[in-house]
């Protein structure tokens, strides 16, 4: 699945964008299947806005986003659901877990949607990221770092051709970042998928094919 | 797979269906249940009344659907007997009158008839005979046929005649009262025709009619004798017997009055009763619709409140890739059985009421069906269909609002 951006300008950021040369805003870009894109995005440049635009959560922008035949804006709610369930996965900066569900239930509800990952694999991944013992704890009682690891695993529990990540490791220590990055890399490779990693500072968590300033 | 589905449903229930405010749900369901029941009852009142009017054999003593009509004998037409006969055109007009389903002519004898009751009694009288098509008879004896070679003629007399004799005549004259069986065992002779051209037949009473006030013989006998002894191929009838779908219908009564036809006016008493039944039925129906409306409103508001309360979870589920259609179906699967339960309870009550009514009305020698008929099922189906459409629409709209 190819991602094409055509002259995107988020309405709230229009004035600020006009003041500098962005590698994304107002550009026409194509991202090809399997690419690993790093977006370096200092605070206030619209990193989260971009992720939300790409994921179809925002429509307050000019220009068009194409995920192959799916276009944004312009796709119906059912199409959007299919895009999100089958082709594009996301790790939100604000994690977005169900606070009343346990860590395990938060993952299970995503896993059940498509059933592409086995329960054993899911629990194996929880063990790899060190949150297996938190299975039965409600998400609201987990630390932010633990919640972040739940959110990372959740994003991998579906088929996807692109993985969007918005500061996915902001609350993890080096050891945990390494484990998480290794797991993500493994699954992305297994899926033959591409990734878009947006973060504040330059890093080499993944073997990027392109680095772009937002 | 089924186990997994169950597990997923459990998680979705936890997220989307909080148990708070359930008393409102039960109140809505109660209103819906009472509303549906009243609706069914109002249809049942109307339908049962129709059943009584439709003149199943047992209900016929009400004089409900078969009536004989004739032209009124007035001072003006008294002297001209032909004017009270029905012409073929008039018979066709009656066939097309409102509510009339079938018309038959009462054919009367145009030849003299002389009955002699078993010589030893020494009882003899001139009399008249009539015939109606078999389909208009309430009771048809097994031997009810006649052909020219047969010397035996079966006769049906009105049970009114027997009553007149037993309670009017016999008591005042000190004569014995007669049972139906004793009359049926009497044999008498019918002498038909006049002068040279006569014949004598053996006759017996084969049955009694509640429907037709006359002395009836088989149609074939009258037709044959009219031709043989009165030389009349077909005589215009002076009375018609009609089968009427609803004798209480205003249009039918107006038709009779407009044409100056008379009938047994007692049969028209249904007209007044029908007015009462209509008022009761429509008042119940109105109340039912009101309750159904309120129940549906509260039920839909409850669903919308539930969805609004689960707004956060719902929007996150949509972000995870759950489709509005799937979530809508999940909500419907939760709420539809509740609606179907109210339908089942209402139908059960309606069935009980119907069978109680059928039992009760038996004491009056009338018959109603033991089970509710199709109009009641249709009312249930239509009201449920409307409810389901309204509820699914509100679910879909509420979820779409979140998805946008």
Residue range B112-163, pLDDT digits in tens: 888 887 656 667 788 888 998 888 887 788 888 888 888 899 999 888 888 8
Angle at alpha carbon of residue A32, lines to A30 and A38, rounded to 5°: 80
pLDDT confidence bin for B258, thresholds 50/70/90: confident
B22-48 exposure pattern, b = at least 16 Cβ within 10 A, e = fewer? eeebeebbebbbbbbbbbbbbbbbbbb
Residue B149's CB is within 10 A of a number of other CB atoms, namely 5
- pLDDT category at A57 given cuts 50, 70, 90 is very high
Half-sphere exposure of B293 (CA within 13 A, CB side): 6
Percent of chain B with pLDDT over 90: 21
The answer to whether position A55 is within a domain reads: yes
| A46 part of a folded domain | yes
Per the DSSP assignment, residues forming a β-bridge with A28 are A6
Is residue A65 assigned to a domain?
no
Domain count of the fold of chain A: 1
When mean pLDDT is compared across A91-95, B36-40, B61-65, the lowest value belongs to B61-65
Tell me how far the alpha carbon of residue B390 is from its chain's centroid: 34
Q: Has residue B52 got a pLDDT over 80?
A: no
- Other CB atoms within 10 A of residue B181 CB: 7
Q: Is residue A172 part of a domain?
A: yes
State the pLDDT at residue A42.
Answer: 86
Give residue B53's pLDDT band: very low, low, confident or very high (50, 70, 90). low
Domain boundaries, chain B: 7-58+272-403, 63-267
* CA nearest neighbour of A200 among A94, A21, A44: A44
Chain B residues touching residue A100 (CB < 8 angstroms)? 14-15
Mean pLDDT, chain A, rounded, equals 92
Is residue A173 included in any domain, yes or no?
A: yes
- Confidence at A187, pLDDT banded by 50, 70, 90: very high
Q: What average pLDDT does the segment A113-136 reach?
A: 93
pLDDT higher for B139 or B264? B139
State whether residue B199 sits within 8 Å of chain A by CB. Answer: no
Q: Compare B227 and B271 and report the one with higher pLDDT.
A: B227
pLDDT of residue B54: 61
Q: How far apart are CA A139 and CA A143, in angstroms?
A: 9
DSSP-based three-state secondary structure for A100: coil
Q: How many CB pairs under 8 A join A and B?
A: 62
pLDDT for res B58: 46
B321 to chain A: which residues are within 8 Å by CB?
A: 81-82, 84-86, 110, 113-114, 158
Nearest alpha carbon to residue B160 among B229, B94, B68: B68
- β partners of residue B209: B158
A 81-120 residues with CB below 8 A of B? 81-82, 84-86, 96, 98, 100-101, 105, 108-110, 112-115
pTM above 0.80, yes or no: no
Report which of residues B180 and A108 the model is more confident about.
A108
Q: Find the range with the poorest average confidence among B61-65, B96-100, B279-283, B348-352.
A: B61-65
Helix (H, G, I), strand (E, B) or coil at B97: coil
Give B 325-364 residues with CB within 8 A of chain A.
325-326
- Could you give the angle at the alpha carbon of A121 between the alpha carbons of A119 and A123, nearest 5°? 70
Residue B177 CB contacts under 8 Å (≥ 6 apart), including other chains: B166, B170, B171
Distances (CA, A) of B133 to A137, B46, B108, B217, B223: 88, 32, 12, 10, 11
Q: What is the mean pLDDT of chain B?
A: 84
Q: Which residue of B has its CA nearest to A58?
A: B404
Cβ–Cβ below 8 Å for A78 and B323: yes
The answer to whether A73 contacts chain B (CB < 8 Å) is no
CB B9 within 8 A of CB B317: no
Q: Which residues of B touch A114 (CB under 8 A)?
A: 321
Lowest average pLDDT, out of A138-142, A176-180, B36-40, B244-248, goes to B244-248
Chain A within 8 Å of B319 (Cβ-Cβ)?
A: yes
Q: Dihedral (C-alpha) B273, B278, B279, B282: value to the nearest 10 degrees? A: 160
- Please determine, for residue B212, whether its predicted confidence score (pLDDT) is greater than 60: yes
Domain holding A170: CATH number? Answer: 3.40.50.300
The domain in which residue A86 lies consists of 34-59+76-213
Residue A4 located in a structural domain: no
> What angle (nearest 5°) sits at the alpha carbon of residue B225, between those of residues B221 and B231?
145
What are the backbone angles phi and psi of residue A18, rounded to the nearest 5°?
-65, -20
């Amino acid at each position: 699945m190819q991602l094409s951006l055509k002259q995107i300008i988020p309405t709230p950021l229009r004035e600020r964008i006009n003041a500098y040369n962005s590698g994304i805003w107002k550009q026409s870009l194509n991202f090809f299947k399997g690419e690993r894109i790093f977006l370096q995005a200092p605070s206030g440049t619209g990193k989260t806005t971009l992720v939300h635009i790409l994921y179809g959560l925002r429509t307050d922008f000019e220009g068009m986003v194409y995920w192959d035949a799916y276009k944004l804006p312009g796709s119906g709610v059912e199409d959007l659901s299919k895009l999100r369930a089958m082709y594009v996965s996301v790790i939100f900066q604000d994690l977005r877990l169900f606070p009343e569900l346990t860590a395990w239930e938060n993952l299970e509800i995503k896993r059940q949607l498509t059933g592409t990952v086995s329960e054993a694999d899911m629990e194996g991944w929880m063990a790899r990221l060190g949150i297996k013992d938190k299975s039965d704890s409600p998400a609201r009682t987990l630390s932010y770092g633990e919640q972040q690891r739940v959110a990372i695993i959740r994003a991998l529990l579906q088929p996807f051709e692109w993985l969007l990540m918005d500061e996915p490791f902001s609350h993890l220590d080096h050891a945990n970042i390494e484990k998480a990055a290794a797991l993500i890399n493994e699954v992305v490779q297994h899926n033959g998928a591409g990734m878009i990693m947006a973060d504040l500072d330059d890093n080499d968590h993944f073997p990027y094919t392109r680095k772009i300033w937002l | 797979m089924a186990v997994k589905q169950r597990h997923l449903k459990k998680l979705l229930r936890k997220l989307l269906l909080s148990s708070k405010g359930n008393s409102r749900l039960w109140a809505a369901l109660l209103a819906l249940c009472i509303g549906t029941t009243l609706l069914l009852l109002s249809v049942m009142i109307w339908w049962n009344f129709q059943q009584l009017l439709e003149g199943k054999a047992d209900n016929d003593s009400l004089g409900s659907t078969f009536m004989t009509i004739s032209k009124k004998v007035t001072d003006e037409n008294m002297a001209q007997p032909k004017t009270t006969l029905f012409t073929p055109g008039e018979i066709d007009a009656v066939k097309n009158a409102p509510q009339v389903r079938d018309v038959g002519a009462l054919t009367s004898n145009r030849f003299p008839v002389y009955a002699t009751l078993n010589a030893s009694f020494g009882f003899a009288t001139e009399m008249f005979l009539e015939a109606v098509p078999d389909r208009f008879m309430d009771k048809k004896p097994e031997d009810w046929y006649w052909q020219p070679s047969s010397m035996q003629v079966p006769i049906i007399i009105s049970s009114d005649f027997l009553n007149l004799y037993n309670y009017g005549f016999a008591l005042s004259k000190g004569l014995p009262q007669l049972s139906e069986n004793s009359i049926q065992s009497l044999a008498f002779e019918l002498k038909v025709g006049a002068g040279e051209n006569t014949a004598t037949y053996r006759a017996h009473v084969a049955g009694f009619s509640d429907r037709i006030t006359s002395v009836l013989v088989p149609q074939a006998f009258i037709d044959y004798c009219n031709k043989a002894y009165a030389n009349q191929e077909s005589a215009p009838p002076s009375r018609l017997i009609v089968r009427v779908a609803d004798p209480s219908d205003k249009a039918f009564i107006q038709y009779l009055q407009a044409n100056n036809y008379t009938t047994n006016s007692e049969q028209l008493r249904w007209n007044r009763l029908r007015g009462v039944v209509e008022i009761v039925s429509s008042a119940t129906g109105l109340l039912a619709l009101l309750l159904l409306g309120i129940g549906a409103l509260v039920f839909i508001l409850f669903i919308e409140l539930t969805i609004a309360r689960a707004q956060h979870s719902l929007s996150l589920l949509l972000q995870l890739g759950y489709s509005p259609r799937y979530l809508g179906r999940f909500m419907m699967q939760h709420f539809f059985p509740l609606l179907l339960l109210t339908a089942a309870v209402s139908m059960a009550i309606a069935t009980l009421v119907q069978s109680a009514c059928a039992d009760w009305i038996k004491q009056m020698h009338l018959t109603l069906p033991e089970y509710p008929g199709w109009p009641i099922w249709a009312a249930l189906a239509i009201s449920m269909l409307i409810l389901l459409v309204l509820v699914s629409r509100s679910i879909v709209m509420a979820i779409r609002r979140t998805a946008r």
